[in-house]
Chain A
Amino acid sequence: MAQATRKRPVAKTEDAAVSARIAAQSHFRILRLGTPFQPRLDALAKTQDWYNWAGYRAPHSLRDEELEYFAIRSQAALFDISPMTKYRIEGPDAEAFLDRVTLRDVTKLRPGRVHYTAWCDDEGFVLDDGTLFRLSPTRFRLCSQERHLPWLLDSAIGFDVVVKEETEAVAGLALQGPTSFAVLRDAGFAGVEKLKIFDLADFPHDGGTVTISRTGFTGDLGYELFVPADKALSLWDRLMTAGELRGIRAIGYTALNRARLEAGLIVANGDFTTAEHAIRADRLRRPDEIGLGFMIDPEKAHFNGRRAILEARARRKLRHVLVGLEVEGNIPAEHAIVYHKKHQEVGLVSAAMWSPMAKRNIAIASLARPYGDTVVEDLWVEIYAMRELQYQKLMKRAKVVARPFIKLDRRIANPPADF
């Protein structure tokens, strides 16, 4: 025994290596990571209503959901998007690599532009959707809900490209709302008025640079800002100071979620289940089944899932369709079952609300074809309204309508309006 416990030099190095490894893996000691903006969020978080966004502590709300929602639509709302997964993709083959991985034609995405895209596995099932930022001819940033590093690295085989996760290194803010342009201008970002929708440019900030794009998840005038994590707080303060008289307000996800629903935008693992998360075989979705069919370009170079997607189209193997619904009445149809002729189950509502902007009761639903596709008449949703400790079952007529549910001219107006 004495011999066994005596430490030899070799064993000591091994021990040191093990302790170093353990020290490097201390992430599990923190249940939810904070983002680079956490000190500011913590100071504002009156509701202490947190949720888990990709391992980060993110607010559902900070003070009042209603005020936060109306900040998006009437003032300027500041939302921390740092937990969003971000990949830096760089190299001579970056364009070809992304063109193979993602659905839309990346050769048509010019430097200084952003597009919304999605990517699929071999069977054409959607792995995720996200935004692709072309920072230069050979440098991109891909933002998404889920993590995809192994998939991206394996996809990089045969391409001269470097893929790096930069979720932690880069902090992100969404500044959305009618006064967002004025806030940026007043904060001193000269030239920001030149940004058209889906444009991006670099601006000096605190001895470094901030990348500002005219993008967002609200259907409103708005911008997204990306900075190195160590410049995060100074950026927050710069915006908050400049926006004070323009009604700037930090918001949580509940408000944003309403705005995005009005804009008709979908959320991965909210409105559809991503391929790597789906356990049940019938939960997988091809782009055509979640309203992303417009991204498919059979004429572009080969992309993941191409064979399966085109085959599914040719053989009519598409089983689902994602639609916008307008529901009679004013009770949100959240997670309601959709019926045809009031008795046959044909789908489920994934998100619903009374829209203060559209003044309509709106919803996003997934339906089993042909319902929602060729059969759009006689659809109903079953809403359970809780009224003084009793459910009242409401069968409400639902009409398939176009998304987005609201269209705001200020979102794309050039130059952006000064409010």
Chain B
Amino acid sequence: MTSFDAIVIGAGHNGLVAAATLAKAGRKVLVLEAGSEVGGAARTEEFAPGFRASSIAHLLNRLHPDVVKTLELEKHGLQFARADFLPSVALSKDGPALMLHGAYGEVLTGANSSEQSAWKDLRAQLLRYAGILKPFLSRRPPDLAGMSLMETAGLGQTALALKKLGKEDMRDFLRVLLTNVADLLDEQLEDIRLKGLLAFDATLGSHLGPRSPTSLLGLYYRLAGETGGAAGAQVLPQGGMGAVVAAIRAAAEKAGVTIRTSIAVARIIVEKGRAVGVTLDTGEELRARTVVSAINPATTFLDLVGPREIDTGFVRKVRNIRMKGDAAKLHLALDRPPQFTGADAAAHKGRLVIAPSPDHVERAFNPCKYGEFSPEPVMEITLPSLADPSLAPDGACVLSAVVQYAPYALKEGWVAGKPKFLEAIMARLEAYAPGIGKSIVHAELLTPADIEARYRMPGGHWHHGESQADQMLISRPVSGWSGYDTPLEGLFLAGAGSHPGGGVSGAPGLNAARRIIAMRG
């Protein structure tokens, strides 16, 4: 039997990035995937005969440039030009849509001139501030217990970047850092459609409303991502998100990675405080010097390792990671493209957002605190088949939408709640795209409960842990163990549950692999 230096559990995009990076550094790497396909929540799947959509993540806006470079993804067909950048569209029920063009609104249309200039200032400020935080994405969180020279230098650069802002700007950066997005928007903007869009973006994928403290961080996190070298730019990959994963997979396989699918890991074997391999659900044992878990941190420690092999305090911390998702995913197979009110052809190819105002987003959030879904949900919609006809039969259309708020722990339960929530979503869609209901061939709604079951994401949370201030940086996944290594020697974490977090970035996978290489693991 072939022996491997490293076993990577989970062939989500982070697992594949970690595997490819390790293989490029000369390790013999085996990737084990429980599902029948690689890609995790970043696949392209057929949800109705002839209709395909990106399963969970449908927009690419933060694939890390270091990942693209390290894995030479451009050679594997992943290239994005300025022309591919998608506009963001704030839809209105009555009247023309407001649009942010280029890389997160280099040009704003559909608003008056004073709003345009206000936006120009705010956008520049947001990008400036996000730029301060951006370097943190591509490195380990600082190790407070024993900071290396490199880490100290890195922090020093951040301090320098802060200083370079100038006194006033630095004060403002610190003033707003942990504030809520709604207050900042109210300070600087007038147009509630624009504010609604930004409020939605800041809170997308988290258990926060625009008036929740720290909600501005979500916007920074989005703007710290880049595509084609432009911060905040977003694209719809041709062939769906599965194509991105296919490119990463190709890079991994070219580097010599072995990938086995439909192989579930039952246990991580621990001997004397060291992870030495895995036991498959077939009972087969595979051993390696390094085990990399690119799946959920709670699943890793509570299920695969088990509480007996780790300390009580660590079990406590892992159990306390908040990871109850609030976002649902909707896939509609439509017999013809829908027509959203006030949106032109270019807008239809963009990211269409139904979030009429910050108040609206906040009201959508309110019920989810009490275990109820939003009666008037907010959502971002893409129609990927408009630019990529291969995703739908001729003349038909795919609609892919992320919908909030759908609390994982719905009080009435998702069996009873799902049809009601779908009805609420359809009512919203009908209001913005009259007649859409009649064109539906098939509808698939994935609630957090469905996402949990289908993609092995506890709590149905795509980020494998809330991306909030207390679960970021040195506290992700848990305090004391944010640097990809774990209390078990030879076991590393490489998934979205680790710093910097979720989204199709590959950053956790890349950072983890770098750490393993640095530790000669």
- Check A302 against B273 for contact (C-beta < 8 Å): yes
Asked if B306 CB lies within 8 Å of chain A CBs, one says yes
- Check A157 against B319 for contact (C-beta < 8 Å): yes
- Check A154 against B312 for contact (C-beta < 8 Å): yes
- Contact A302/B312 with A122-B487, A158-B302, A307-B273 known, Cβ cut-off 8 Å: no
A96, closest chain B residue (CB):
B308
- From A154, A158, A307, B308 is in contact (CB under 8 Å) with A158
- From A122, A158, A298, B311 is in contact (CB under 8 Å) with A122
**CA separation between A151 and B313, bound complex, in Å?**
8
- Check B315 against A302 for contact (C-beta < 8 Å): no
- Contact A101/B273 with A158-B306, A307-B487 known, Cβ cut-off 8 Å: no
Give the residues in chain B near A155, CB-CB below 8 Å: 312, 315
**CA separation between A96 and B308, bound complex, in Å?**
8
CB-CB contacts below 8 Å: A282-307 with B? 298, 301-302, 304-307
- Chain A nearest CB, measured from B299 CB (Å): 14
Asked if B77 CB lies within 8 Å of chain A CBs, one says no
- Check B315 against A157 for contact (C-beta < 8 Å): yes
Give the residues in chain B near A307, CB-CB below 8 Å: 273, 311, 487, 489
CB-CB contacts below 8 Å: A334-376 with B? none
Contacts A100-B308, A154-B316, A301-B308 aside, 19 further interface pairs with beta carbons under 8 A come to A96-B308, A101-B312, A121-B313, A122-B311, A122-B312, A122-B313, A122-B314, A122-B487, A154-B312, A155-B312, A157-B302, A157-B319, A159-B308, A302-B308, A302-B310, A304-B311, A306-B311, A307-B273, A307-B311
A153, closest chain B residue (CB):
B312
A127, closest chain B residue (CB):
B312
- Check A302 against B309 for contact (C-beta < 8 Å): yes
CB-CB contacts below 8 Å: A97-150 with B? 100-101, 121-122
Q: Count residues on chain B whose CB falls below 8 Å from chain A CBs.
A: 18
**CA separation between A286 and B302, bound complex, in Å?**
27
Give the residues in chain B near A301, CB-CB below 8 Å: 308
Q: Which of A100, A121, A298, A302 has the most CB of B within 10 A?
A: A302
Asked if B270 CB lies within 8 Å of chain A CBs, one says yes
- Check A154 against B273 for contact (C-beta < 8 Å): no
- Check A304 against B308 for contact (C-beta < 8 Å): no
**CA separation between A306 and B489, bound complex, in Å?**
12
**CA separation between A307 and B314, bound complex, in Å?**
12
Asked if B307 CB lies within 8 Å of chain A CBs, one says yes
A121, closest chain B residue (CB):
B313
- Chain B nearest CB, measured from A372 CB (Å): 27
Give the residues in chain B near A101, CB-CB below 8 Å: 312
- Chain A nearest CB, measured from B146 CB (Å): 11
**CA separation between A96 and B309, bound complex, in Å?**
11
- Contact A159/B307 with A302-B270, A306-B273, A307-B273 known, Cβ cut-off 8 Å: yes
Across the A-B interface, the 9 shortest Cβ-Cβ residue pairs? A158-B307, A122-B313, A122-B311, A155-B312, A304-B311, A302-B309, A157-B307, A154-B316, A304-B312
Give the residues in chain B near A302, CB-CB below 8 Å: 270, 273, 308-310
- Check A154 against B310 for contact (C-beta < 8 Å): no
- Chain B nearest CB, measured from A110 CB (Å): 22
6 A-B pairs with C-beta separation under 8 A: A158-B307, A158-B308, A306-B273, A306-B311, A307-B273, A307-B311
**CA separation between A10 and B489, bound complex, in Å?**
57
- Chain A nearest CB, measured from B316 CB (Å): 5
- Chain B nearest CB, measured from A207 CB (Å): 40
- Chain A nearest CB, measured from B138 CB (Å): 29
A310, closest chain B residue (CB):
B273
Question: B470-501 CB contact bits vs A (8 Å, 1 = yes)?
Answer: 00000000000000000101000000000000
- Check A151 against B312 for contact (C-beta < 8 Å): yes
- Chain A nearest CB, measured from B314 CB (Å): 6
- Chain A nearest CB, measured from B47 CB (Å): 37
CB-CB contacts below 8 Å: A262-320 with B? 298, 301-302, 304-307, 310
Chain A residues in the interface with B (C-beta under 8 A): 96, 100-101, 121-122, 151, 154-155, 157-159, 298, 301-302, 304-307, 310
**CA separation between A157 and B315, bound complex, in Å?**
8
Give the residues in chain A near B272, CB-CB below 8 Å: 298
Give the residues in chain A near B489, CB-CB below 8 Å: 307
**CA separation between A306 and B307, bound complex, in Å?**
14
- Check B308 against A121 for contact (C-beta < 8 Å): no
- Chain B nearest CB, measured from A149 CB (Å): 13
Question: B81-114 CB contact bits vs A (8 Å, 1 = yes)?
Answer: 0000000000000000000000000000000000
Give the residues in chain A near B307, CB-CB below 8 Å: 157-159
Q: Which of B302, B306, B310 has the most CB of A within 10 A?
A: B310
B309, closest chain A residue (CB):
A302
**CA separation between A157 and B319, bound complex, in Å?**
10
**CA separation between A307 and B307, bound complex, in Å?**
15
- Chain A nearest CB, measured from B156 CB (Å): 26
Give the residues in chain A near B319, CB-CB below 8 Å: 157
B487, closest chain A residue (CB):
A307
B314, closest chain A residue (CB):
A122
**CA separation between A101 and B315, bound complex, in Å?**
13
Q: Which of A100, A122, A306, A310 has the most CB of B within 10 A?
A: A122
**CA separation between A302 and B273, bound complex, in Å?**
7
- Chain B nearest CB, measured from A156 CB (Å): 9
- Chain A nearest CB, measured from B233 CB (Å): 43
A303, closest chain B residue (CB):
B311
Give the residues in chain A near B314, CB-CB below 8 Å: 122
**CA separation between A305 and B313, bound complex, in Å?**
9
- Contact A154/B311 with A306-B273, A307-B487 known, Cβ cut-off 8 Å: no
- Chain A nearest CB, measured from B276 CB (Å): 14
**CA separation between A158 and B306, bound complex, in Å?**
7
Give the residues in chain B near A157, CB-CB below 8 Å: 302, 307, 315, 319
A123, closest chain B residue (CB):
B313
- Chain A nearest CB, measured from B270 CB (Å): 7
- Check A305 against B311 for contact (C-beta < 8 Å): yes
Give the residues in chain B near A304, CB-CB below 8 Å: 311-313
CB-CB contacts below 8 Å: B46-82 with A? none
**CA separation between A155 and B307, bound complex, in Å?**
8
Give the residues in chain A near B487, CB-CB below 8 Å: 122, 307
Q: Which of B270, B312, B487, B489 has the most CB of A within 10 A?
A: B312
**CA separation between A154 and B487, bound complex, in Å?**
18
**CA separation between A310 and B273, bound complex, in Å?**
10
**CA separation between A121 and B316, bound complex, in Å?**
12
Q: Which of B270, B272, B302, B306 has the most CB of A within 10 A?
A: B272
- Chain A nearest CB, measured from B486 CB (Å): 10
B489, closest chain A residue (CB):
A307
Give the residues in chain A near B311, CB-CB below 8 Å: 121-122, 304-307
Give the residues in chain B near A306, CB-CB below 8 Å: 273, 311
Give the residues in chain A near B316, CB-CB below 8 Å: 154
Give the residues in chain A near B315, CB-CB below 8 Å: 154-155, 157-158
**CA separation between A349 and B456, bound complex, in Å?**
57
Question: B263-281 CB contact bits vs A (8 Å, 1 = yes)?
Answer: 0000000101100000000
**CA separation between A207 and B50, bound complex, in Å?**
79
**CA separation between A166 and B314, bound complex, in Å?**
27
**CA separation between A100 and B273, bound complex, in Å?**
12
Give the residues in chain B near A310, CB-CB below 8 Å: 273
B316, closest chain A residue (CB):
A154
Q: Which of A96, A157, A159, A304 has the most CB of B within 10 A?
A: A157
**CA separation between A151 and B314, bound complex, in Å?**
12
A158, closest chain B residue (CB):
B307
**CA separation between A298 and B310, bound complex, in Å?**
14
Give the residues in chain B near A96, CB-CB below 8 Å: 308
Give the residues in chain A near B310, CB-CB below 8 Å: 302
B312, closest chain A residue (CB):
A155
**CA separation between A301 and B272, bound complex, in Å?**
7
**CA separation between A157 and B489, bound complex, in Å?**
22
Give the residues in chain A near B308, CB-CB below 8 Å: 96, 100, 158-159, 301-302
**CA separation between A167 and B387, bound complex, in Å?**
71
**CA separation between A80 and B313, bound complex, in Å?**
34
- Chain A nearest CB, measured from B266 CB (Å): 15
